[in-house]
Amino acid sequence: MFSWASRDGRRKEPELFSTVSDGLKRLYRTRLLPLEEAHRFHDFHSPALEDADFDNKPMVLLVGQYSTGKTTFIRHLMEQDFPGMRIGPEPTTDSFIAVMHGEQEGLVPGNALVVDPKKPFRKLNAFGNAFLNRFVCAQMPNPVLESISIIDTPGILSGEKQRISRGYDFAAVLEWFAERVDRIILLFDAHKLDISDEFSEVIRALKNHEDKMRVVLNKSDQIGTQQLMRVYGALMWSLGKIVNTPEVIRVYIGSFWAQPLLVPDNRKLFEAEEQDLFRDIQSLPRNAALRKLNDLIKRARLAKVHAYIISALKKEMPSMFGKENKKKELIANLGEIYSKIEKEQQISPGDFPKLSKMQEILAGQDFTKFQMIKPKLLEAVEDMLANDIARLMTLVQQEEAVAPSQTVQGGAFEGTMNGPFGHGYGEGAGEGIDELEWIVARDKPTYDEIFYTLSPVNGKVTGAMAKKEMVKSKLPNTVLGKIWKLADVDKDGFLDDEEFALANHLIKVKLEGHELPAELEMSTNH
């Protein structure tokens, strides 16, 4: 239950939020939307949010040049073809396809999608028919789609010609999706790594959403280890120049389809990377409420800055003559207005919209219709950021505690969960898991030779003697301490020959780069 006091001391009607989604909708409509509307925020940045934006399932946006395996990646995750799917080496996907769950398999065209209040796509209407004719929703029953929706995008081409022939602002559409999705996956082809001008422009358009971005270096099985290292280095260098942030975007290396590996040298690396990526995607339903909350905060900060900018421009406009000349002068000097607002309001430079884009939109606006800032509207947003968001965070934690752990199930996510093909099965501490003979017994004669040089008393060596031998591994004391705890099975502070052999086996496991188990499962035979 949320409540707050008004400035004159009287309490406002208490706000009751049954869910995080309900809270976000109410806060947006009552606190943020009035400020956005007063200062024409939607003309400059992003259309107003609707209830469906807060209610929809987590969405994953796939972006990449043609033939990087975007559609195949979706097919790999779902282990099922979807309506409208086309795969080939040439540019095949020429539409935005929203792959979503539905009881009946089929395609819904873009013009029908943007009038459906249950789908979060109504505001795409603003991009016009050229875009809507290239937008469809593929609905189908699939367990993966019960938890997430996936957006497949047209393959990005190189050259100016294709950019013009699209008929709609491709980068702006992607930016619209980026604001609303939970994960953006950029796909690259390890076999032919090049980043076209349009792709660079697209990545820059997604600049404010680096926290959602992940990179997949696909088709990595087509090249050897040495080449793969070079390609990975080149990719990181190229991304560093485009994204221009100190943080490194996470890159997953692999071959994301259900075909045999062409060059199997890096099989273990690909398995580990695929598991990491799957875990990242599986966590999306669990973190969806937090992501929506985070996006609302980002939007509120931008709306505040935007209100200050519009108000500053209105203040400088003459009441009678010379309006057009003053408008041109203000647009040219917008950078100085940014600096002034930054100093006066103590706002971070990173919160300001891109200068060139703002200047471009302002050129087509009527400055006389701009409004001065209304303190009440600004106070409502400040109050939301300072108080309501914190209360909503508590509700997020409560919902997470009550709800069972939500993860994406089905499709490729089930493939490596159980059985001998789980990642790391039969390796490290799990080596010999299916064998009748105790795995440590293989090397026990070698360990026994060392054991008897340590002068055991009554068949056991002291901790001090065992330590002298164990530190030769050069492993840190924290690791050796854990190995001792696991190996000293009877907890008597000594090691017999079997416990000593176990300690040495665990040292070997650690030196080979594997993790130690939290505890040992001892069978009745050993």
Could you read off the pLDDT of 15-73 as tens digits, one per residue? 556 788 888 888 999 999 999 999 989 888 888 888 888 888 899 999 988 878 888 89
The pLDDT value given to residue 185:
93
Q: Across the strands, what pairs with 97? A: 136, 152
The answer to whether 447 and 469 are in contact (CB under 8 A) is no
Distance CA 244, CA 147 (A): 33
Residue with the two structure tokens 């395996």:
69
Query: Rounded to whole angstroms, what are the CA distances from 461 to 69, 196, 469, 506?
Result: 59, 66, 11, 18
Confidence (pLDDT) at 101: 92
- Which positions of the chain have pLDDT values less than 50? 1-14, 160-161, 163, 419-421, 425-426, 428, 432-436, 523-526
**Residue 363: what residue type?**
A
Count of CB atoms situated within 10 Å of the CB of 377:
22
How buried is residue 57: exposed, middle or buried, by Cβ count under 10 Å (0-12/13-18/19+)?
A: middle
Residues 6+ apart with CB under 8 A from 316: 326, 330
Model pLDDT, residue 148: 92
Residue 209 is encoded by which pair of tokens? 């959403």
For position 8, what pLDDT does the model report?
A: 44
Sign of CA pseudo-dihedral 117, 121, 123, 129 = negative
pLDDT at 514: 78
Q: State the virtual CA torsion across 122, 123, 126, 129 in degrees, nearest 10.
A: -30
* pLDDT of amino acid 13: 47
Q: Please say whether the beta carbons of 185 and 216 come within 8 A.
A: yes
Query: What phi and psi values does residue 98 have, to the nearest 5 degrees?
Result: -90, 110
pLDDT, residue 161, reads 46
Location of structure tokens 């040089």: 453
Q: Determine the pLDDT at residue 416.
A: 54
400 sits in which H/E element: helix 389-402
pLDDT at site 7: 42
Decide: 375 and 315 in contact? Cβ < 8 Å: no
Residue 509 CA to residue 483 CA, distance in Å, equals 10
Which spans in 266-322 are helix H? 267-282, 284-316
CA-based angle 119:122:126, to the nearest 5? 155
Neighbours of 397 (CB within 10 A): 12
Alpha helices in 403-476 (DSSP H): 444-453, 463-470
At residue 208, the pLDDT reads 77
Distances (CA, A) of 330 to 276, 325, 367, 372, 373: 50, 9, 10, 16, 18
Q: What is the DSSP letter of 277?
A: H
The predicted pLDDT at position 192 comes to: 79
For residue 448, the tally of other CB atoms under 10 A from its CB is 14
Is residue 403 packed enough to be buried (19+ CB in 10 Å), middle (13-18) or exposed (0-12)? exposed
Q: List the beta strands (DSSP E) in 65-133.
A: 96-101, 106-109
Residue 336, SS3?
Answer: helix
Alpha helix (H) residue ranges in 79-165 = 110-113, 128-132, 160-165
CB of 370 closer than 8 Å to CB of 39: yes
Specify whether the CB–CB gap between 202 and 174 falls below 8 A: yes
Q: What residue type is assigned to position 430 of the chain?
A: G
Q: Is the pTM of this model over 0.75?
A: no
Angle at alpha carbon of residue 438, lines to 436 and 440, rounded to 5°: 155
Give the DSSP letter of residue 386: I
Contacts of 355 (CB under 8 A, 6+ apart): 334, 335, 338
> Alpha-carbon distance 72 to 271, whole Å?
18
In whole angstroms, give the CA distance from residue 357 to residue 353: 8
| Separation of alpha carbons 451 and 331, rounded Å | 82
For helices 170-180 and 197-205, what crossing angle results, to 10°? Answer: 40
Per DSSP, 19 falls in state S
Q: How far apart are CA 166 and CA 372, in angstroms?
A: 39
